[in-house]
Each structure stands twice: as structure tokens, then as C-alpha cells.
Structure 1
Amino acid sequence: MLKWSINIQTILAGMSIGLFVYYVIKRMRYRLPPGPWCIPLIGHYKIYSSPEFHLKTAALAKEYGPIIRLSVGPQTWVVLNDINSVLEAMVTKKTDFAGRPQITSGDVFTEGGKDITLANYSASWKLHRKIVGKALRNYLQGDLLENMIQDNMNKFLDKMAEEKGPFVFKEYMDLIIFHQLYTICFGEKRPVDDPEVKRFIKLDNDLLEKFGSGFFEDVFPYLRHIFTTAKWKKMLVLTEEVLNILRKNLKEHKETFQPGVNRDFTDSMLIAKQEAKDEGDEAALEILDDTHLVQTISNIFIAGADTTRFLIDWFVYFMTRFPETQAKCQEEIDRVVGSKQLSMKDRGNLDYTEACIFETMRISNSVGFGIPHMTVCDSQVGGYDVPKGTTVLINYWALHHDPKQWKDPEQFDPHRFLDENGKMKPTKPDSWLPFSVGRRVCLGESLAKSDILLICANLLQRFEISLPEGVKPNLECHMKGFGMEMPPDYNIVVKERSG
């Protein structure tokens, strides 16, 4: 026992000395961005462990400038807090900052980086993204998306209409989005009370709770072999359950797949695999094996579900908080659409409603810091050196609340996105980046914008939405970790609109 204790102490002491020497050499070699002093090895624990990470880094930017350096355990992170530094890094030097850091928990969930979202920048990643983009376009062409949304919306709007008192809107939103994704990915229209869909929602919420606040093993990866936390063990179980659901559905699809018949997104990927096989494209086949396919579907499911449902939850919250804004949206919907079924063709005339959605994307912080970037080579931003392998974060809250870019940034004002004629401005403000920018811009941006508009417009076309009588809006949001803000818990009351 004594010998083992001495060995552990020796190892830790050696690691500490080695990291200290590395840190000194790095500081002498590079002109790193400024940042506050911290305890070696531990780093800026009170900052990176805080659910208000975005607010703390934005405050530091006022003291040190928009580009700040933080130590997260033995790792160096650089946080970009203004639009100029973000555009320089992600657009001007886009390839330099297109990597992804190897996060221990992410590596587990992606089965070794076999997905698109967390995979590092490489030739195979570019090919994988290209194939998925083509598959999405092929499947969602025509009026398929809007018919699918309308079908799902009608089922759950009918259920909402049966509510005679206050109810939690978020629970309906989760069901709408997950049922919709089941249809997109697997071509299935499941009953409203389907147990597998409900199980998937619970698993995703549980994983979000675990991922949102981070893992000790992510900061000190090597210690997971010495001391594994209960939280880490729980994450492993949840991850395997999610992947098993997707594996089961992929297996069933492969057994019923018919070349040339495209039932859903999974079929689109299987068709791409068949084409690669026919053409003898070994590079494409390598990223279209079962593991990659499951991970691709997982990206569509998890990323598509979470960003959409959280954003719409915020939108409905703002509609209850600002009933006069809701009334203006409904007046526009009545004038443009009337009582007929909403169509994608109506989108170009629903300017005020879309502006409210864009403003919701700005003022809410449902994306947090997004997915971390990593430099794939030595680079620079704002005159500072950013060494290869550095984790780089975009503080979207700072971008979307920058008083230099937005007048009264804390105010909900959809007119920011409208011209003097009440039409959507042809170009969005530079500092509005809910879908990120550069090489890692969201693959489903155009799909998400259409999807969210149709869902929100459908809700407002059918219902007047309000808080229960006597209840005032709660101005305190909930923090989910890593800068992600959620609206406060709230109930709504719906009243069917006439005609």
C-alpha cells in the first residue's frame, strides 16, 4: 500500500512539474490572449464550472478585451466575445479554427468521433458532411416537409385544444419535435402516446442535464482510469440506451430497404451508400458503415431536437409575456394565410412573425457557447497567437447582447430585423449568429428556419396563448450549464381562435 501511494505521488508530482514547464515555454513562445491569474492545474474553476459562464466571460472581456484566455484544468481555452474576432477566426481564417477538441464525454457519445458535429476537421469529415447535406436536400425537396409538419402539428394541437386549464407547453413541444424527427429519420408516424418516443425524450433530457454541467473526466481525462465518478458511469448507461434505439431502427430499415425507394432520411443515407458501392468509392463507403450512419442519425435527432424545441419554448414564452406582439403576429397570419393550411410559400409574407423568431434567437441564449472549436494549426486572432490544439469558444450571448451592435439589447424588439416597409431586411446583422458561421456553420440552418416558422405560425393561427389568470411573467431564466439559458417554468392557457 505504501509503495502504491508513493508511486501515485511521484506520478502526480512529475505531471505537475511537466505541465508547469510546458506552460512556461508556451508563454515564452507565444503572445497569448490576456486573462486573469489562476491556480496552476486547477485553472479558472469558479469561471468554467459556473452555469453563468457566458456572463462571467463577457464581464472579463470588459476588463481584458474581447479575446480572453482561460485555463480549464491543464487546458488552455480562448473565448471570443465580439463579432470582429469571431469573423476573423471563423470566416477569414476559417480552416485554422475548424477543428473540434477531443472531449472525453463527446468521444464516448460519438463512438470515437464518427459523427459530423463533434468530429475533427479532416478530408473524411468534409466528405461525410457533403453526403449528409445531399441526402437532406434529396429527402426534403418539394412539399414533403410542410405536409409532415402539418400532420404532426394537427395531432398535438388537437390534444392541446382538449386542455381545459393551465398546462406545461414544453411537454407538448417535446412530443411535437421528437415525433417529427421520427418521421424525418425513420418515416414513421407514431401514436401520440408512443412509449419509445417518450423514452427517447427522457433519455435526451437526462443526457442534457449530464452534459450541460460538464464532467470532471473532461477536464482531467486521464483520471477516469484512476477514479471514475458516478455521474460518468450514469452518462455511459444513458448514451448506450440512446444509441441502441437508433441501432434498432437502422437495422429494421436495412432489412426493408429497396434501392431507389426513398422513404425517409435513413433511406437517403442507405441510397448514398448503395451509390458509393456501385461506383467503387471506398472513401465514401468508409464513412457510411453502420457506426457512422447511427452517428449521423444521432446528429439529426439530438441537435435538431434540442435547438428547435428550446427555441420554440422561448418563442411561446415571449408571446405570453408580450400579448400585443402575439396579436400583431396573428393579424399578419390572418391577412396572409386566413383559415387555410399554412404553406412554405407563405413564408415570404410572414415578415413580422419571422422577425419575432429571429429576435427570439437573438435574445434567448438557448445555444449557450455552441460546440467548441479547435485550432488545427498555429494561428492568430486579434493580434494574439492561438497555438495549434487550442480550444476556442464563441460567446453567443456576448455577440447577441453587445450594446455596440444592438440598441437596448435587453429589450425584445422584432423591428431590428425589419426595414421601413415592414419587410425582412435582405441581410441579417453581422452580430446575429444563432447558427454559427464558417466551416462549422449549422448544416440544417435553412431547414431549421422553415421548420420553426411553420410550427410557430401554426400555433398562433389556431390559438390565443396566455399565462393563467393572475400569473405575471417570471423574468428569471434557468441555467442549463455551459451558458445555456432556458425560460422559467411556466404554464399556458390556450383559447381557440375563430375563423
Structure 2
Amino acid sequence: MVVIQEPLSALLAILLLLYLMKRWWSHQHYPPGPLSLPIIGSIWRIRFGIGLNERTMIKMSKQYGNVFTLWLGDMPIVLLSGFETVKEGLIDHSEELSGRASSPYVKFIGKGKGITFSNGDLWKQQRRFAVGTMRKLGTGRKSMESQIEVDAQKLVEIFAREKGQPFDPALPIINSVSNVTCIMLFGHRFPLEDENFKELIDAIECTFKFGGSPVHILFELFPWILKRLPGPHMKALESIKIMFSLGKKEILKHKKKLSSREPQDFIDHYLLHIEKEQKNDPTSIFDEDNLAHCISDLFIAGTHISALFMQWAILLLTNRPYIQDKIIKEIDDVLGSSSICYEDHKQLPYTNAVFHEIMRYRYVVLIGTGRQTTKDVNIGSFFIPKETVVIPDMYAILHDPQHWETPEEFNPNHFLDKDGNFVTRKEFLVFGAGARLCLGEHMGRMQYFLFLTSLLKAFHLQLPPGVKELSEEIVIGTLLSPKPHKICAVPRESSSKSIQNAIDSELTN
């Protein structure tokens, strides 16, 4: 028995040594980073070291540099930090970083279809079609602005129903913001009380909260095991199916009606394109599965991220009544009682600066969906092989002390010159950059501006009685959310005198 065990032990030792040497050799091809352990890689450095929060990657870049590698098991993930480094990656090497990262969880979500999680020619064609169709449907034009104004007014009406009493603004904001996207995608809105809408929003929130959690990391490392075990990941996987099923249901409804009408929305246009393409090419990549994934991609991007910016805006302004009052005064002085259009942002430098500062100060994406190199590339002094996952740290750019005077403070002067004029900042990469630039940037900017100015023209946002300050603590997930909170939307007619008194008092002091 001893005779057998000794050769076996020696063989195992040799195999382990070869495995460690192979790992060491493969790691030499990537930028430096935390110590990578067998099986789990270097992800331990986050979960059992500095912790996962909005500043995690900033802390790591101080230790390892602006280009460093984390290992998720045996999968390398290269992190880019700092404006110049991210700019070099996303803009100077836009084509090389145009791929979409693939992992077990990403494969389950996107299945390589649609816009967000697809690659190669499929991605290029789906994105090109989406951009063209969104333009046909009015994105960037007055017709889209009119639709946004309708939903902004509906949100004002919902706030008015509360009659100045404390309420949670989250669901009304999500509903109103999403309905702009719903009109474009489906041709109809969801009522605030709609149970299907509430189920869909719950599913989206569940998916984002799951991202970055310990169980999510375990799923990425051991998907074949986790798929067979109960746990929070099963709820997240079921939520993805719920989101996808919405698109399937809407496609079926549209197919029944399309023959009797002109195309009204994104689904109509896509179905007609499928029909046209498949006449010439039965193997066309335009099909109902890709359409359903496009719907899910556009709905999530046009709903949850935009709604989070709005939620943070209302919370931050409620905590800063003097800034809120200066916005109201600027709007009144410049526009008076006339209605607001998007072009008015050029005449409202302080208002525009505050809105940009909100997006900078409380950027809502913890870690964006990773890119993947389509070929070998050099960034900085480091070689990054083809098919490597690359993640740019946008939060670090927006909080970089080399580019922002007071990065950890809420300071609208970041976007104002000494004369009070609005200034654009090249470091303001909230909507991304390069080949994967956000599709809905213009619509998002328009929506954000019109919703907030409409609310501020109608209400003074105040703290509930007895509350000294709303918590600005961040809830960590794939997205950075505020804690649940309540505000009071007091009609301006009843608060205009107190606003002017507050401004006069501040100026005097």
C-alpha cells in the first residue's frame, strides 16, 4: 500500500507544480494585479479585503496603477482607471475594445443576441437598425420632445395628488420615465397601477441587485453547480425570464395588428424588417429572438438607469434647498411663466450645471458591462491579448482629483466658468464613449432636463416634517441606488415667499 501511495503522491505533486507554473506563465501576459489564488483567482481581494463599494476600484488603482488585472477564477479582467487611460482604451482603441464580454451570467442574460450582449456583425447590424429606427420615431426631434413633455406633466400630476404630504417618489418616477421608452418600443404606456408593470420593475431591480453579490460571483465561478442549487440566484434567473417574456408578449400583439396599419413603434418597424430580410435571406440575423432581446436591452437602459438619475436628483435637491431655490429663480427670471423646451437648457447655465453635477456626483453604474478586445492591443505600457475582458472605471473618472476641484463634494461650479457660464467637460463620460456609446444619450438628456424642470416649476421639494436630512448613503448593486426615502412636493404657490426669503437670507449672510 505504501509502495503505491508514494508514486501517486509524487505524481500529484508534479501535476500541481505544472498547473501552478502554467498559471504563472499565463498571468505574465497581463498587467499586474492582486495575488491570484487557484480556483477563485484574485476576487478575494475585493470580498475579503477592501470590500465592494463605489470606491473599490479607485483604491486598487492607487496600489496597482491605472491598468491592472483581476482574475475571476482563470478569467482575466483588465480594469482601466483614470481619464487618460480610459480615453486611450475606449476612444483611441474604440474598434479593438468594441467586443462585449462574455461570462456564464452574461450568456444566460443575453444569449449573444440583441444589442447590449451581442458581438461582431450581429451586434453592428442590430445597433445600426436600432439607431436608424429611433431616429424615424423622433429621437432628437420635436416629436419625441412632445412625448416627453406629456409624461413629465403626468409625473407633475402624480406628485400633486400627494397634496404636499410625505411620499416615496421612486415608483412614480420609474413609471413616468419608462413610459417614454414604452411609447417608442410598444406604442403605448403602462398605468402606474398596472400589475404587469410592477412585476417587470421588480424583476429588473432583482437582476441589478444580484449583480456583484457574493452569489453572483459564485455563479460565474461554478455555473454548472449553482444552476442545480436553490438560492437567490434562482430568483435573479427567473427575473431575467420575466423581462424577456414582456418582449415576446408585445411582439405577439403587434403581429396581430401590423397588417392593418402603418408601423407605429420600434416593434412594428423591426417586424417589417424581418419580413423584408427573410424574403431575401432565410438565415437573416433579424428574427423575433433578437427583437425580444433588443426590447429588453432598450427598455432596461431607457428605464432603470434614467430613473435612478432622477431619484438621486430629487433626493440631492431636497437636501440642498438653497441650490434648488437658485434653480427656481433662474427658471423664473429667464422663462417666466412660459413652458420649457429642451433648447432652454442653453439659457439656464446654473440649472444645467446642477443637473450635470448630479450625474457626476452620484453616477449610478458601479461596474459597467465589460468590453472584450477583438484583437491584441496595447494600452499605456501594457499588452492586452485578444478576447480579454476590459472594464473602464467610469466612477473613478468622475471623481478624479486631477480633473475635478472637489470630487467628493456636490459642487455645480465644476460645470461653470468664473462668469457663471456653463462649460462642457471632456471628463464627463456618464454616457460612455467609443463604439459602445449609449444609444439613448440624447433622449436621456432631454428626458432628464424636461422632467426635473417641470417638477421644479410646479413644486418646492422639501423634507418631511421632523426629518433633518435624507440619507445619501449608496445601496450597492450593479447600479448605485439611494436608500428608500420620502419627500414632500409642496406646490410653488404656497412656498414662493419662503423661497425668496431663503435666497435673500443666504445672500445677506
Q: Calculate the TM-score normalised by the size of structure 2.
A: 0.87
Match of 1:6 in 2: none
SS, match of residue 157 in structure 2: helix
1:458-481 Cα deviation digits (max 9, x unpaired): 111111001113312245423322
1:157-194 Cα deviation digits (max 9, x unpaired): 22221214211111221221233332221111343322
SS, match of residue 56 in structure 2: helix
- Answer yes or no: is 1:445 the counterpart of 2:409: no
- State how 1:26-65 maps to structure 2 within 5 Å: 26-28=26-28, 30=29, 32-49=30-47, 52-65=52-65
Matched-pair contact (CA < 8 Å) for 2:70–2:77: yes
Equivalent residue letter for 1:313: Q
Provide the aligned C-alpha RMSD in A: 2.6
Match of 1:69 in 2: 69
- State how 1:179-198 maps to structure 2 within 5 Å: 179-198=179-198
Matched-pair contact (CA < 8 Å) for 1:375–1:392: yes
1:141-169 Cα deviation digits (max 9, x unpaired): 54222222222232332222121421111
1:448 CA displacement = 0.9
1:457 CA displacement = 1.0
Using a 3 Å threshold, how does the CA distance of structure 1 residues 381 and 222 change in structure 2: closer, same or farther? farther
Deviates more, 1:44-53 or 1:333-342: 44-53
Q: Which runs of 5+ in 2 are unaligned?
A: 1-11, 497-509
SS, match of residue 481 in structure 1: coil
Using a 3 Å threshold, how does the CA distance of structure 1 residues 54 and 322 change in structure 2: closer, same or farther? closer
Deviates more, 1:15-24 or 1:241-250: 15-24
Match of 2:106 in 1: 106
- State how 1:91-490 maps to structure 2 within 5 Å: 91-110=91-110, 112-120=111-119, 122-141=120-139, 142-164=141-163, 165-213=165-213, 214-224=216-226, 227-258=228-259, 261-276=262-277, 280=280, 282=281, 286-425=284-423, 428-482=424-478, 484-490=479-485
Cα distance in structure 2, aligned partners of 1:313 and 1:212: 22
Equivalent residue letter for 1:118: F
SS, match of residue 404 in structure 1: coil
Equivalent residue letter for 1:385: F
Matched-pair contact (CA < 8 Å) for 2:36–2:71: yes
Cα distance in structure 2, aligned partners of 1:275 and 1:77: 41
Using a 3 Å threshold, how does the CA distance of structure 1 residues 51 and 157 change in structure 2: closer, same or farther? farther
1:97 CA displacement = 1.6
Cα distance in structure 1, aligned partners of 2:13 and 2:271: 52
Using a 3 Å threshold, how does the CA distance of structure 1 residues 261 and 422 change in structure 2: closer, same or farther? farther
Using a 3 Å threshold, how does the CA distance of structure 1 residues 197 and 27 change in structure 2: closer, same or farther? closer
Using a 3 Å threshold, how does the CA distance of structure 1 residues 16 and 328 change in structure 2: closer, same or farther? farther
Cα distance in structure 2, aligned partners of 1:117 and 1:316: 29
Matched-pair contact (CA < 8 Å) for 2:258–2:268: yes
Count residues with an aligned counterpart. 477
Using a 3 Å threshold, how does the CA distance of structure 1 residues 430 and 470 change in structure 2: closer, same or farther? same
Cα distance in structure 2, aligned partners of 1:137 and 1:363: 31
Matched-pair contact (CA < 8 Å) for 1:136–1:268: no
1:231 CA displacement = 2.7
SS, match of residue 480 in structure 2: strand
Q: Please say which structure displays the higher CA radius of gyration.
A: 2
Identity %: 27
Equivalent residue letter for 2:33: G
SS, match of residue 257 in structure 1: helix
Cα distance in structure 2, aligned partners of 1:15 and 1:87: 43
- Answer yes or no: is 1:492 the counterpart of 2:487: yes
Using a 3 Å threshold, how does the CA distance of structure 1 residues 349 and 271 change in structure 2: closer, same or farther? farther
Q: Which runs of 5+ in 1 are unaligned?
A: 1-11
Cα distance in structure 2, aligned partners of 1:58 and 1:175: 34
Matched-pair contact (CA < 8 Å) for 1:365–1:486: no
